[in-house]
Structure 1
Amino acid sequence: MPYQSSLAADSFINTTIVITGGGSGIGRCTAHELASLGATVVLLGRSEDKLISTVEEIKEDGGSASYYCLDIRDEEAVSATLDAMLIEHPRVHGLVNMAGGQFRAPLSAISQKGFERVVQTNLLGGFLMAKNLFNKHFEAHGGNIVNITADNKNGMPGMGHSGAARAGVENLTKTAAWEWGPHGVRVNTVAPGWVASSGLDTYPDDMKQALRNLKHAVPLGRIASEAEISATVCFLLSRGANFITGQTLFVDGGASMGSAPALYPLKHSDKPTSETWNGFHRSAIPRVLQ
């Protein structure tokens, strides 16, 4: 069975979309969906094995994909990679800044080096990608940027470095949308809540039960599939979103409504109150949720 997108077939025919962090998780899913809709996808990341695997999957499914291996925190590498990419793909239509990473720790235990590395990955890298692609291409041709943050409306206890960086991404998105809008560039942000992605399996054993209980803090009674995040990213990249810029779309089942659980505890049956949409034919349930 091919990818089951909620967008019209061939929505991205004759377009090229760049995806950082495209070798795994939501980035991999988004790459598959865009390719299934006719886009040529260019995947960027540090792990060449993951990039190769995803490119091979997409080609097996009949799509068009290639990759470049780099560290997006290195501006010289970003600049050189984009120069090479623009020779191979003279017209690029979109950028998805999906790459990110963090580790669990209270603020009091985060070292300066650890804080800086997370901020560099989640904020600086996306800025370097967007700035360089704008200067080299989007300023003259227009384009579309979708940044990925997280549900950080009420802070991110246990991951304060990531929350600070991702709040920066949201603000940077608004500035870029204002400054680059006159050049035909739209810039938006998607803020996922909890997602059944492979990243859940990277957390330590003492968090496993908490991960399984995440659904109890979501009004819709479940966590998202990767495809539900990808669908929102693809919508923002699509022509149907041509008058949307500078916005953050929360895809979190209502979990970001803050203190509501403490004032009005949610009572769920074993059956979720909404159906999961998962059009990604290659998705796998994280082990921690099985």
Structure 2
Amino acid sequence: MPYNSIFRPNLFAGQTIIVTGGGSGLGRCTAHELRSLGARLALIGRTQEKLDQVKEELGDPDTFTFSADLRDEAQVKAAIAGVLAWGGRIDGLVNNAGGQFPAQLKDISLNGWNAVVANNMTATFLVSKAVYLGWMEKNGGAIVNVGADFELGNPGMGHNGAARAGQTNFTYTASVEWAHAGVRINSVIPGFIASSGLDRYPERAHDVLRNVKGRIPMKRHGTESEIAGAIVYLLSDAAAYVTGISLRVDGGLHNYGKSSFYEVPDHDRSKPFNGFPLYKPPKVLE
């Protein structure tokens, strides 16, 4: 079954787009939607087997895959050089790769702190810089960074909050410094999304992940397709005058987090959008 995108066919025909972390979860779904809209895809991630599986799902032998640790500058440069040797251009970049784990600040080791900061902030910088210098500085393009909400702090995952704050601030800075080159750079800030990434959290976090929908004004988890749709919009010409923003896709969770005097009634009025025929809910939510 084809991806049921709300965007017009061939929206990205003739364009080459990189998706990091393209082997699972949000990256996998975004790759499927972009391919359905005519993009040539380069998938970069840590596990070659996962990238190859998504390539097979896409049914496109032209899809480029490259296994790399995006925290390592030499590997990042090799990956981007590989994309350019294969595709000759880079029109769009989705910085989706990342990772974190729940822990209180007092329990986070220096290695754990550094790993999360490198995964979620440094990798975004390294890949974006390599793409900018390798192609976009002379040719323009669009970059979308997939982050996480940090503005109210991130109790229980302070290393992730710090990393995502830095990632978003990098987005704001680059949107100004790179505007003269015709480069737009924005962030998508997902809320609690029913993606395979939830299954990587330890069992002690499962009840929180299941029950969090009670704290969300829309009273449900988001779908992978709802994040992919936001990414596609920001990559598209419809967002030609949009740069340096953070687009929250969180069912209203951020704004509700500030409220002490209002409780959203239980309801089922928010209907999810799911255009991805291969989607399966994470086991933790079954």
Question: TM-score band, normalised by the shorter chain?
Answer: over 0.9
* Cα shift readout 1:244-271 (whole Å, capped 9, x = no counterpart): 00011000011001544543223214xx
* Cα shift readout 1:78-118 (whole Å, capped 9, x = no counterpart): 11221122111111100000000011100110011110110
Alignment partner of 1:141 is 2:139: yes
Residue in structure 2 matched with residue 179 of structure 1 by the alignment: 177
Residue in structure 2 matched with residue 57 of structure 1 by the alignment: 57
5+ residue gaps, structure 2: none
Residue in structure 2 matched with residue 230 of structure 1 by the alignment: 228
Residue in structure 1 matched with residue 188 of structure 2 by the alignment: 190
Residue in structure 1 matched with residue 81 of structure 2 by the alignment: 83
Residue in structure 2 matched with residue 7 of structure 1 by the alignment: 7
Residue in structure 2 matched with residue 40 of structure 1 by the alignment: 40
Cα distance, 1:37 vs structure 2: 0.4
Residue in structure 2 matched with residue 273 of structure 1 by the alignment: 269
Cα distance, 1:206 vs structure 2: 2.4
Residue in structure 2 matched with residue 108 of structure 1 by the alignment: 106
Aligned length: 286
Q: TM-score, normalised by structure 2?
A: 0.97
Residue in structure 1 matched with residue 278 of structure 2 by the alignment: 282
Alignment partner of 1:161 is 2:159: yes
Alignment partner of 1:95 is 2:105: no
Cα distance, 1:128 vs structure 2: 0.3
The share of aligned pairs that are identical, in percent, is 45
Cα distance, 1:204 vs structure 2: 2.0
Residue in structure 2 matched with residue 123 of structure 1 by the alignment: 121
CA distance in 1: counterparts of 2:136 and 2:276, whole angstroms? 30
5+ residue gaps, structure 1: none
Query: Stretches of 4+ moved more than 6 A in 1?
Result: none
**Amino acid corresponding to residue 37 of structure 1 in structure 2:** L
CA distance in 2: counterparts of 1:247 and 1:169, whole angstroms? 12
Query: Match for 1:210 among 208, 219, 222?
Result: 208
Cα distance, 1:238 vs structure 2: 0.5
Cα distance, 1:54 vs structure 2: 0.5
The question of whether the paired residues in 1 share the 8 Å contact of 2:9 and 2:37 is answered with yes
* Cα shift readout 1:147-171 (whole Å, capped 9, x = no counterpart): 0111222111111101100011111
CA distance in 2: counterparts of 1:42 and 1:10, whole angstroms? 17
- Equivalent position SS for 1:213: helix
**Amino acid corresponding to residue 46 of structure 1 in structure 2:** R
CA distance in 1: counterparts of 2:221 and 2:153, whole angstroms? 19
Q: TM-score, normalised by structure 1?
A: 0.96
Deviates more, 1:92-101 or 1:144-153: 144-153
**Amino acid corresponding to residue 52 of structure 1 in structure 2:** D
Cα distance, 1:210 vs structure 2: 1.7
The question of whether the paired residues in 2 share the 8 Å contact of 1:217 and 1:261 is answered with no
The question of whether the paired residues in 1 share the 8 Å contact of 2:217 and 2:256 is answered with no
CA distance in 1: counterparts of 2:41 and 2:261, whole angstroms? 45
- Equivalent position SS for 1:43: strand
